[in-house]
């Protein structure tokens, strides 16, 4: 670990920090990409801290994976606004809002159709693999009108023209 | 740990997050307050993460403690701009810049005279107590012109009118 200052560049990029786009080749139980138009940048990953700080950004209309896992997330919205599914709730989120995501809590972030959504995420460096919802779990979520509306805007690439 | 969304309020405050001003009653080896016009807000402190995310803000002309310690800091400048002493260097820092502060590295942040400086700091929840420079260590730092200039602007309350 060395003393380093990494200047911020325009458009939420940083000197010496790689931008990792997620490949949209994983499909959910309904045949849709499990995430869309999202990139990850690992801002800090220092073994002595045991935690990482990552910056995720969804382009307008993008979304993160709907998932749950043993490890927790501490999230700060950093740019733009959008919606967040957190457990059984859907909430509007905007810049600087704080989101605590405990173990085994379903969560997903979605940018609005016309604006990107970026967030910082503090997480343990050692963590378990996320679980995706099964078709049954997704169907159960969709019985809630708010969650159904949140999950609805996705085009289904398997059936759309 | 519960799922929580804490909305951001104006002026870098958050619902349910206390603002802790630092009392300016500790003096350095030259009789000056060891920090000035700085507040701390703990945004996340979750035992399962083992790390905390704090937001520190210095009013215009304020500064953090010049200190070093075993524990490391991962800092992101969040608001405004200023200067940072990091080891043997003084650097300009501004919004979104990333600063890695390893173990036992002298560090101090200073807001410019006319603008606040706010930063996020990721740190281990369990950490050692900071060390302040002795008069000898301070004198050694001041033999470097850049560090001397950085440390100079402080009025000395013990001798100023």
Per-residue pLDDT at A31: 79
Residue scoring higher pLDDT (A26 or A108):
A108
User: Does position A155 have pLDDT exceeding 70, yes or no?
Assistant: no
pLDDT > 50? residue B156: no
pTM for this one?
0.92
Residue A35, min C-alpha distance to chain B (Å): 22
Q: Rounded to an integer, what distance in angstroms lies between the CA atom of residue A25 and that of residue B73?
A: 37
Please give the mean pLDDT across all residues of chain B.
91
User: Quick check: B161 pLDDT over 60?
Assistant: no
Check residue A153 and give its pLDDT.
Answer: 60
Which residues 14-33 in chain B show a CB within 8 A of chain A? 14, 17
ipTM: 0.90
The confidence band for A114, taking pLDDT boundaries of 50, 70 and 90, is: very high
Question: What is the per-residue pLDDT across B24-70, written as a single tens digit (0 to 9) for each?
Answer: 778 877 777 888 899 999 999 999 999 999 999 999 999 999 999 99
Query: Of B153 and A161, which is predicted with more confidence?
Result: B153
What does the pLDDT average to over B139-150? 94
Question: What are the catalytic residues of B?
Answer: 121
Q: B153: pLDDT confidence band, cut at 50, 70 and 90?
A: low
For residue A30, name the pLDDT band (cuts at 50, 70, 90): confident
Q: What is the mean pLDDT of residues B81-109?
A: 96
> Quick one: tokens of B74?
């991962």
Residues paired with residue B63 on neighbouring β-strands, in sequence order? B36, B110
Q: Residue B98: which residues within 8 A CB-CB, separation 6 or more? A: A4, A5, A6, A8, A14, A17, A43, A44, B74, B75, B76, B77
Closest chain B CA to residue A43: B98
* CA distances to A130, B107, B121, B142 from B93, in Å: 36, 13, 14, 21
Domains of chain B: 16-151 (2.60.120.10)
Residues near B24 by beta carbon (within 8 Å), at least 6 away in sequence: B33, B35, B36
Average pLDDT for A42-60: 96
Q: Is B101 within 8 Å of chain A by CB?
A: yes
Q: In the predicted model, is pLDDT for residue A127 greater than 90? A: yes
Give the A window 41-80 contacts with B, CB below 8 Å. Answer: 43-44, 46, 48-51, 53, 71-72, 74, 76-77
Q: Is the dihedral of CA B135, B137, B143, B148 positive or negative?
A: negative
CA distance A113 to A124: 31
Q: Is pLDDT of B157 > 80? A: no
pLDDT of residue B137 exceeding 90, the answer is yes
* Maximum C-alpha span of chain A: 53
Q: What angle do CA B14, B16, B20 make, to 5 degrees?
A: 75
The band of B158, judged by pLDDT with boundaries at 50, 70 and 90, is very low
Q: Give the span between the Cα atoms of A101 and A67, in whole angstroms.
A: 11
Predicted pLDDT at B160: 37
The pLDDT of A95-122, averaged and rounded, is: 97
Contact B74 A46 (CB under 8 A): yes
The pLDDT value recorded for residue B30 is: 74
């Amino acid at each position: 670990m060395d003393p380093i200052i990494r200047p911020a560049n325009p458009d939420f990029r940083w000197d010496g920090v790689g931008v990792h786009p997620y490949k949209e080749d994983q499909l959910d139980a309904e045949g849709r990409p499990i995430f869309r138009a999202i990139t990850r940048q690992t801002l800090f990953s220092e073994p002595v801290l045991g935690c990482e700080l990552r910056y995720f950004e969804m382009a307008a209309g993008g979304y993160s994976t709907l998932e749950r896992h043993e490890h927790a997330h501490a999230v700060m919205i950093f740019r733009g606004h959008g919606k967040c599914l957190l457990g059984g709730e859907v909430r509007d989120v905007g810049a600087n809002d704080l989101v605590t995501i405990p173990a085994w809590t379903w969560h997903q972030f979605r940018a609005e159709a016309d604006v990107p959504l970026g967030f910082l995420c503090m997480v343990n460096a050692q963590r378990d693999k996320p679980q995706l919802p099964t078709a049954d779990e997704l169907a159960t979520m969709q019985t809630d009108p708010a969650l159904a509306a949140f999950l609805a805007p996705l085009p289904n690439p398997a059936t759309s023209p």
